[in-house]
A and B are shown apart, each in its own frame.
Chain A
Amino acid sequence: MREELLREVEQFLYREARLLDERRFHEWLGLFTDDVRYWMGGRSTRYPPSSKGITVLDRERRESEIEDELAILDETKMTLGGRIARLDTGMAWAEDPPSRTRHIIANIEVEPGDTASELKVYSNFLVYRTRAESEQDFYVGSRQDVLRRVDGAWKIARRKLVLDQNVLLPKNVSIFF
């Protein structure tokens, strides 16, 4: 992968993070393709196959994958737009007063995508959220994006987010990632 391309992708993701931290959600939505799937899952705890903590009775009982779990977010561009429209109503109480966020994006890796106009991009996120007087939360996890070149600009065509917590410690997920 060319150094120039890596820098371009990094700068794209940092700019995206800044739009979120500055609550420029309409501009942020413009970074997605019309066919985007924006998905967030959580983590459940299972015994690893090698564990001596249990003896398995039914070997055919398949261990669940992250994708089998109930998603936390499973959005289209339209429903993301609906969420942003909700924030604009002046009655979205979970965001009134608004969250103050700091999106830290790290461990960025870029790989070729399935087509010549796409890239697979891996990254980690650490999002700090503080709100009102003393509320604070950390949202930490992984991101897998598909970036697509559309009319000369990068757009996000797929975003898969996995939060590392099992029982989420924040009271809600009222922000974007």
Chain B
Amino acid sequence: MAADVTRLVDVENGRISRRIFIEREIYEQELERIFARCWLFLCHESQISRAGDFFSTYMGEDPVLVVRDTEGQLRAFLNVCRHRGNRLCRADAGNAATFTCAYHGWTYRNTGQLVGVPFIKEAYYGALERERWGLVPVAQLESYKGLVFATFDPEAPPLGEYLGEMTWYLDAFFDRQEGGIEVVGGLHKWTMPCNWKLPAENFAGDGYHVTWSHLSAVRSGFGGDFRVGADPTGTALSPGNGHGVMLVGAHMIADPPAPEILAYEEKIFPEIVKRLGPRAGLFKPVAGTVFPNFSMLKPTSRTFRVWHPRGPDKTEVWAWVYVDTAAPPDVKEAVRLAGVRVFGPAGVFEQDDMDNWQACTQTGRGVVARRHPLNYEMGLGHEGYDDDLKAWASEYRFSESNQRQFYQRWAQLMTAEKWAEIKG
């Protein structure tokens, strides 16, 4: 019996129950109805560019192996041997034609096909139907501009429909120049003692916290001045389906404060407008979240990340640094350094976030604290559809409009038995 979450999320009045951030039963339902159902980000294609390349990740708590098979086709499977359920691939990344389970030696081709079972004739008397015991594939896998997504739900709408108008905003982060983006080096992986929704909603729409949470880093010269400088403009924008983006005015400088990057951004701005259309001339993108747990950031650091759920009060973040493929080497190096110094586990901005999200989660263990809903009413009634931006937009630059859209989508998915019941 599924938990009834409808009374826990009141977006009309901007009230969210703390139970959704701490209760195990609700978390288990999220694994079923959010993570086993939604399109989730796996990796960037530049990580698995050659035949045989693989990358180990997770969809929810399910371990997943993403491969470019010998023929060059992208595939993703549960990283789980079909025999006893051992984890098949033990490395983070690499290149392989076949994977052999460490337990009994069952071997799978990088297409997922089971090709080797020791003693198959003698011990199984030839009765084991190998073709039925290949790796469990994802239900659907698609790439958007190099971003690889998959879903375990065959009934999920196609990726393009799921992303909807968000595709245009993804272009504004990841397809600004010919060649799109590439990832820099490996990735940061670390553990946050908080519920996964807190970082996801933060990147979706919390411009508000920057002016206080991160003021120490802004004042110490690590960027982010656009949030606290004079005449700031911007909006919180919901392109639909629970996705959220934050924008600032086109006249504002919203980039890491390295001279190479600032000169590069100034130079390419007209080119971006030419490539993406006049909408790109109206604003600069700052951050965003593709529902449920894929987030991105452009100023101060260029990062995208997945918030892997690890229980109601634990999140594992996997964070990449990205840069325009077409950017010159000095810009790429400056982007790498800003990525390391400002975000990531040691990032002068990000380290303060983890600490806040931890306590926002843990105080919910108190049963009395849990009785009092959280306040998400900022900007209620001061938001509307913007024809130019083709999305639901807040009037003021700070608003909890995007968070309300995020939790509305969350409640829809948690309530619906299947995709057909969910409105687009």
- For residue A1, CB closer than 8 A to chain B, the reply is no
User: Which residues of the other chain, B, contact A46 by a CB distance below 8 angstroms?
Assistant: 91-94
Q: Are the C-beta atoms of B100 and A52 separated by less than 8 Å?
A: yes
How distant is the Cα of A83 from the Cα of B217 in the complex, in angstroms?
8
Q: Are the C-beta atoms of B191 and A168 separated by less than 8 Å?
A: yes
- For residue A75, CB closer than 8 A to chain B, the reply is yes
Q: Please, which residue of chain A has its CB at the minimum distance from the CB of B183? A: A70
Q: Are the C-beta atoms of A72 and B94 separated by less than 8 Å?
A: no
User: Which residues of the other chain, B, contact A79 by a CB distance below 8 angstroms?
Assistant: 341
Contact with B along A33-75 (1 / 0, CB 8 A): 0000000101011110000111111100101100011111111
Q: How many A-B residue pairs have CB under 8 A?
A: 162
Given contact pairs A56-B97, A167-B316, A71 touches B185 in the complex (Cβ within 8 A): yes
How distant is the Cα of A56 from the Cα of B188 in the complex, in angstroms?
25
B182 CB → nearest A CB, Å: 13
Chain A contacts to B: CB under 8 angstroms: 40, 42, 44-47, 52-58, 61, 63-64, 68-75, 79, 82-83, 85-87, 89-94, 166-174
Given contact pairs A92-B216, A92-B352, A168-B345, A45 touches B90 in the complex (Cβ within 8 A): yes
User: Which residues of the other chain, A, contact B316 by a CB distance below 8 angstroms?
Assistant: 167
Q: Please, which residue of chain A has its CB at the minimum distance from the CB of B70? A: A57
How distant is the Cα of A52 from the Cα of B221 in the complex, in angstroms?
50
Given contact pairs A54-B98, A70-B185, A167-B189, A61 touches B53 in the complex (Cβ within 8 A): yes
User: Which residues of the other chain, B, contact A44 by a CB distance below 8 angstroms?
Assistant: 92-93, 186
- For residue B99, CB closer than 8 A to chain A, the reply is yes
Residue in contact with A75 in the complex, picked from B215, B321, B341, CB distance below 8 Å: B341
Q: Are the C-beta atoms of B52 and A56 separated by less than 8 Å?
A: yes
Residue in contact with A55 in the complex, picked from B51, B96, B185, B340, CB distance below 8 Å: B96
Q: Are the C-beta atoms of B345 and A170 separated by less than 8 Å?
A: yes
Q: Are the C-beta atoms of B190 and A168 separated by less than 8 Å?
A: yes
Segment of B149-157, B278-286, B354-362 in the binding face: B354-362
22 contacts between A and B (CB under 8 A): A53-B100, A54-B96, A55-B96, A55-B97, A56-B52, A56-B94, A61-B52, A61-B95, A63-B94, A69-B186, A72-B346, A73-B340, A74-B336, A82-B220, A85-B220, A93-B213, A168-B345, A170-B345, A171-B190, A171-B354, A172-B351, A172-B354
How distant is the Cα of A68 from the Cα of B184 in the complex, in angstroms?
9
